[in-house]
Amino acid sequence: MPWPCLGHAPLARHRHHPTLSLLCCHSLTAPLPYQVRAQLLAHSSAQLAAFLRTDVAAPLLAAAAAADRADRLGRGGPPRYAAGLTRRGWRAIGPPHKQRYARYSGAAGADAGSVGAQLQAPHAGRSLLVHAAYMQRTCSAHAAHMQRTCSAHALLQALRKLVSSAPFTQMLALLCGAAPSSVCAEARRFRPGLDYTLAHVGTLREELTIDATLCFVPAADAAATTSGDTAAAQKSELAAGRLWASGDVGGFECYVAADGGEETKTAKAAEVYRADDASEGVTSIHAMSNALSLTLRPPGTMKFVKYVSAAAPGSRWDVAAEYTV
């Protein structure tokens, strides 16, 4: 379908908004928006690395790695079904014949984990002032203090508000060439040895959808992280990044077209379509820390997140948003 040319005007109005101040400057600077749009038009997906500023992403990565270590998840450890679910606000999402992962539903216990909103409020990102200041303060503190005071769910909650804000969706419109009208976003955790989603007819949409997923896959190597050895920590992080990129431990997101053939009829009968990143017609987006993945999902396209192996370095943490165009 044709995409309208929106120019710079929508983003310019919000360029200094506190919401967009969380992003790396390259996310807002020409010619990147046009390069991203060209990539989306050619391949229907694009991945923007180092999307958030380092001082914003670092506390979340540290808190997520600390949570994985506390839950004894990853690097071949035996998974426990209840791992992470005892923390207030996290709940398991099923049913298991379609999906299993943990969603943050809010500290009050209400199911606010998947938030839908019309994109009309111009000040939707104002509450991020407090979250941005908090993340910047904790990032400048000592690593051990940061892990005590930061929680992964609080930071993911802040990012969920970010992707639902008016300035962010204006930026998304510039990147994708189409203006979203509504959004549904959730904060998720895919635990090693436990979690996945399967492609099924429930993931089909009747209209064009823009999927935006902000992903974090920290290295949960306790020895390297807590030793104070920066070089060892960086080496561990690079090794973890290569492992996620290989796809050998799962955790990647896939899109597959429902072509209306016998395979789709079977999917409709069983409600589940089974595929992997080697299947024909599958678009795979591997997990990468502090990366924003954008996908133009036409009607008739299903999606899934590959089962995260117990051998993975840690959990896949993300904020996943669907925008209706």
Is residue 2 one of the residues assigned to a domain? Answer: no
What total of structural domains would you count in the chain? 1
Is residue 203 one of the residues assigned to a domain? Answer: yes
Percentage of the chain lying above the pLDDT 90 cut: 40
Region class of 84: left (phi > 0), else alpha (psi between -120 and 50), else beta? left
Is residue 221 one of the residues assigned to a domain? Answer: yes
| Residue 227 neighbours by CB distance under 10 Å | 12
* 8 A C-beta contact, residue 19 and residue 119: no
- Which of 17-31, 180-194, 302-316 bottoms out in mean pLDDT, i.e. has the lowest? 17-31
231-241 pLDDT, tens digit per residue, is 777 788 888 88
Residues sharing a CB contact under 8 Å with residue 94, sequence separation 6 or more, in sequence order: 100
Greatest mean pLDDT range, 51-60, 130-139, 144-153, 285-294: 285-294
Is residue 88 one of the residues assigned to a domain? Answer: yes
Is residue 4 one of the residues assigned to a domain? Answer: no
* 8 A C-beta contact, residue 159 and residue 128: no
Domain of 251 in residue numbering reads as 9-324
Is residue 204 one of the residues assigned to a domain? Answer: yes
Is residue 1 one of the residues assigned to a domain? Answer: no
* pLDDT for residue 9: 40
Assign 103 to helix, strand or coil: strand
pTM across the whole model: 0.80
61-111 pLDDT, tens digit per residue, is 999 999 999 999 988 888 899 999 998 899 999 999 999 999 998 754 444
SS (H, E, C) 55-68: HHHHHHHHHHHHHH
Give the integer Cα–Cα distance in Å for 296 and 288. Answer: 19
CATH for 158 = 3.60.130.20
Is residue 243 one of the residues assigned to a domain? Answer: yes
pLDDT at 253 over 60: yes
Residues found in the chain: 325
